[in-house]
Structure 1
Amino acid sequence: MSSTDIQENFHLFFDRMNLEPQNVDQKTNLTLHPEVGEGYVRRFLPRYDMEVVVSDYTFYRSQNISLSTKSPMVELNFCLKGERGISVQGKEHQLLPGLCSLQFMSEMEARFEYVGNEPFHILGIGIPVSTFHQFMEESNGERSIEFGQVLGKQSFRIFQEKLSPAASVALQRVMQYVNKPGTKKIEMEIGVLGLLSMAFQSFLLDSETAAVPLSKRDKEKITQAREIMLECMANPPSLPELSRMIGLNDYKLKTGFKAMFGTTVFGYLREKRLEKALFLLQQGEMNVTETSSAIGYTNTSYFAEAFREKIWSQPKRIRETFL
């Protein structure tokens, strides 16, 4: 499948919206017909197999737009404002502010519903199935996840979750590229790849945990272990110490924790440490060294590297942004 196939899906959708071309250069700008509403759609092609669409518009009256997709594709959406309903095969879905939505679709019939006089702002990223498969390949060439495996017998599947702090920062960066004149395609591509990577990791890769039989009491103890780690974030107990504190053997703690929370005990602690670091830096009251110490990192350089991997930005840059 070529890139033009997924672009045809976008062409069909925007044709239904009664959009008018404004100008065409490295991006395409479209505006709503003044009798229908106000606002715009901007389309970017960071590379041949990737389309980025930023929509910011308001319909004067409630609208239902029907669409038959022509080609299978994967689409990642970040809803920034307003809401949109999607009806596929009798099932209703909602795109709501603050949600990240990963959608897998084959050829299907869909209806999109908009509320009149409600501003709607969304960033969408579309890739063909061939590119998704390329992204899912491991270093040895094997592929653990297939498009058809995700869809099963359905023609549409959607994963949704609240936007994480890391994804929020990466999204802000991409929106800056969208609005900055002269942005190079490589800048946009790197930013978009970061968003795709985080979404695939969260929705598809972290969820591959074997079922572990846990009693209600086991779950309560494992939840207690999580609370202890959060309370003692700067100086956490070792795994054997944590096991003794909650009265559960370390094997059941390790396997049960991963089954319940999708990661290891210390993987979870690392994520929460870095999320707290992001919060502290945004407050602007601590410098990078103080923030590193507050969350339990004794080596500031190691903290900065871990922060950059998670948040896709240097901690110093985050702090300067919010001062």
Structure 2
Amino acid sequence: MLNTNFHENFSEFFHALEISKIQECPFAFQPNAQEGAIQRFIPRPDLEVIISDYSFYREYQMQVVTKQPMVELSFCLQGNRGVYISGSEYEISSGTCSLQFIEQVGANFMFHKNQSYQMVGIGIPISTFNHFMSEIGETSKESLSFSKILDGKRYRLFQERINASSLIIVRQMLDAIASKKMTNLELECRALQLLSMTFRSHLFVNSLSPVMFSKSDRTKIQQAQSIIMEHMSNPPTLIELSRLIGLNDYKLKKGFKEMFGTTVFGYLREKRLEKAFFLLQEGTMNVTDIANAVGYSNPSYFAEIFKERFGINPREILRDLNRL
């Protein structure tokens, strides 16, 4: 049976923001406190999608007490805000993806004056999360549940930068909603895709074997990852990388695959394309310059693998930006 009481948590948040006309979408704010809009969608009983875009005329703090345990995934596209939960302070900053596991807790939110906040939030009850985990666990041979992740705590946060794949889905979703072309089924599919991608990246990361890989080996493999990121446009060969970190190439290849879920080359390719995506979003460079900046001397090949990875030609991104 689905637990749909988690919707009360979002209603409490809207009430604390002093939102009027809660039954309407988008919601209107009380005058003189803040401006903007929040859109609330419930494409199915155990799924809530919130699109927030607002700012405050003054420094603003509010307290919310969650009434039901839930899992929330949020993408912060603009603005930085702090939140105190269970005696600990957290920062939700622009460009981050946050996966939150929430029991019944009190939260104190702090918003800054004249700062725009743009967020996309996706919420599900623990029954739905546990169902997802049981299905993913069948293929990953790992067993996770809401209670196991919290491990006796009342709140847990996983946070990282929004990756390019998720950002594309989020922006496509926002564009479709703004143009009123998003059906409930399409919204449900996009939200579930984002949840699935995030669960896999945050919760199902293979750990290194303690027998084969020592703590020193782990540190060296982390060092290899840093070198790849620093020298993305002109990276060392695998043998050169092994020598730089002082680890033989067999341990480097096997350890890197287990630690990051892909090969050294696969990781480099993914990070190059992600960086290219963000450079395209800035709109200050052409495709050829971006290809060179991330280590591809052939712009045509770069465009081919970029479209293969993200489903869109890089020139289309620049063209869309120029229309704004």
TM bucket (normalised to shorter chain) is 0.7 to 0.9
Look up the equivalent residue of 1:7 and give its one-letter code: H
Look up the equivalent residue of 2:111 and give its one-letter code: Y
Counterpart mapping for 1:3-18 below 5 A: 4-18=4-18
Selected match of 2:305 from 303, 306, 317: 303
Q: Deviation at 1:168?
A: 2.2
Work out the CA distance in 2 between the residues paired with 1:243 and 1:198: 31
Q: Is the 8 A contact 1:224 1:246 kept in 2?
A: no
TM-score, normalised relative to structure 2: 0.79
> Which deviates further from its counterpart, 34-43 or 252-261?
252-261
Look up the equivalent residue of 2:5 and give its one-letter code: D
Q: Is the 8 A contact 1:60 1:117 kept in 2?
A: yes
Partner residue, 2:163: 164
Matched, 1:116 2:118: no
Work out the CA distance in 2 between the residues paired with 1:301 and 1:61: 45
Q: Deviation at 1:320?
A: 4.9
Identity %: 38
Q: Deviation at 1:17?
A: 1.6
Matched, 1:190 2:210: no
Q: Is the 8 A contact 2:224 2:241 kept in 1?
A: no
Specify the SS of the correspondent of 1:102: strand
Work out the CA distance in 2 between the residues paired with 1:139 and 1:296: 41
Q: Is the 8 A contact 1:76 1:103 kept in 2?
A: yes
Specify the SS of the correspondent of 1:215: helix
- Total equivalences in the alignment: 313
Ranges of 4+ aligned residues in structure 1 off by more than 6 Å? 295-302
Look up the equivalent residue of 1:173 and give its one-letter code: Q
Work out the CA distance in 2 between the residues paired with 1:120 and 1:280: 22
Unaligned runs of 5+ in 1: none
Q: Deviation at 1:129?
A: 1.2
Partner residue, 1:37: 34
Deviations 1:137-167 (A, max 9, x none): 2384876221111111111111111222222
Q: Is the 8 A contact 1:100 1:162 kept in 2?
A: yes
Selected match of 2:43 from 33, 43, 46: 46
Look up the equivalent residue of 1:226 and give its one-letter code: I
Work out the CA distance in 2 between the residues paired with 1:20 and 1:154: 34
Deviations 1:88-133 (A, max 9, x none): 1110111111111111101112211222333322111111112222
Work out the CA distance in 2 between the residues paired with 1:240 and 1:322: 41
Specify the SS of the correspondent of 1:303: helix
Work out the CA distance in 2 between the residues paired with 1:253 and 1:93: 35
**Against the structure 1 CA distance between its residues 319 and 115, is the aligned structure 2 distance closer, same or farther, given a 3 Å change threshold?**
closer
Work out the CA distance in 1 between the residues paired with 2:276 and 2:70: 36
**Against the structure 1 CA distance between its residues 30 and 68, is the aligned structure 2 distance closer, same or farther, given a 3 Å change threshold?**
same
**Against the structure 1 CA distance between its residues 139 and 64, is the aligned structure 2 distance closer, same or farther, given a 3 Å change threshold?**
closer
Look up the equivalent residue of 1:62 and give its one-letter code: E
In angstroms, what is the RMSD of aligned CA positions? Answer: 3.8
Look up the equivalent residue of 2:7 and give its one-letter code: Q
TM-score, normalised relative to structure 1: 0.79
Unaligned runs of 5+ in 2: none
Matched, 1:315 2:317: no
**Against the structure 1 CA distance between its residues 4 and 240, is the aligned structure 2 distance closer, same or farther, given a 3 Å change threshold?**
same
Specify the SS of the correspondent of 2:190: helix
Q: Deviation at 1:250?
A: 2.6
